[in-house]
Structure 1
Amino acid sequence: MSSPPLSVDRGRTWFSFFQYDEDRDSPSEARNILLVIATLIASVTFQAGVNPPGGVWQDNRNGHKAGQAIYAAQEGAFHVFLIANTLALSTVILVIVSLTYRFPCYFEVCVATASMIVTYASSIFAVTPDESVRFRYILLAAGVPFAFRALILICKKFRNPKTI
């Protein structure tokens, strides 16, 4: 005997129950939840850049260089990984900076975030063989979220100049 789907509040399923609801959820609660999620994503993507999947070569044998990503031997897959990971990290950094705007110690959050970006970049440059990836694609991926956000703000400004 199977049980009916979890029903909460007038026939809604459990999935719709957990969705954001303006009448029930405060903006402060939503911001806190988004910050937790963004922090988790930032941690995972940063760690994946610092310690790439498969690890790094431990010695200079068989044409490999110690400290470089083993995964880089699969050039296409490694490019996709680096670009997607960088895009995710860059997007979540934009979310964190946006959600903490006007918080106490906002300047310190920005300094720490910028330092994290530099650390991430230096790490992926260190573990990536020079010939295996075109870094301009990684830099482009890092800039995409910021460019889209700027484009959205510009479009909003032209649609309704008094709201921004």
Structure 2
Amino acid sequence: MKSSQNKQKGLVSRTWAWYVNADHHWIERQRGILIVAALVVAGMSFYSGIYPPGGRFSSTQNGMYPLGNAVQTEVDMDQFDMFLANNTVTMIISLVIVLVLISGFPLRNKFWMWLLTLGTMSTMVSMVTTYLESLSMMSPDGYFGEATFFICVIGMVGCGVVALIHTIFFVVWVVMKLSKCMMPEKDKNGNQDVGEA
């Protein structure tokens, strides 16, 4: 019983030591590649927004359909709104990631690392959701197969788990930093009280 508890404590302490002491210089070295990747994602989202699945009306067809409108708006406006919302989230978060990367902030800082991780995971989830919406709009009766759906859900859950783990580590790190900052003040107050007595 004690050996299993010791193993668990050892695993937790090793994982925590990895998080605290991990070399985050790699992200500084790969800054350019990350910028290009985020811009590619933003460009893909921009293109999907301008040229949505199903296309746009290229002729007015006796004035019945407004020229340039997405075909999907005439079929299911709610689904098209969901597609646009997810696509816009993907594009905006990708551009925010680019902004953080080109701003010159020190990426070794754990706050920026956490923010970039959350941004990347959010982008991936919204991208997968946009993909599912696109498949639903292009498929007959909105059907695109259970296997595709489950693979996408597994990917989104994986992103959520990674984001949650990083958030837990970051919150614990912040709490420990704050508690260390508060400790010297308590010690000083205690010493002053002793001196006054």
Give TM class, smaller chain: 0.3 to 0.5
Larger-Rg structure: 2
TM-score (norm 1): 0.45
Bigger share in helix: 2
- What is the TM-score with the length of structure 2 in the denominator? 0.38
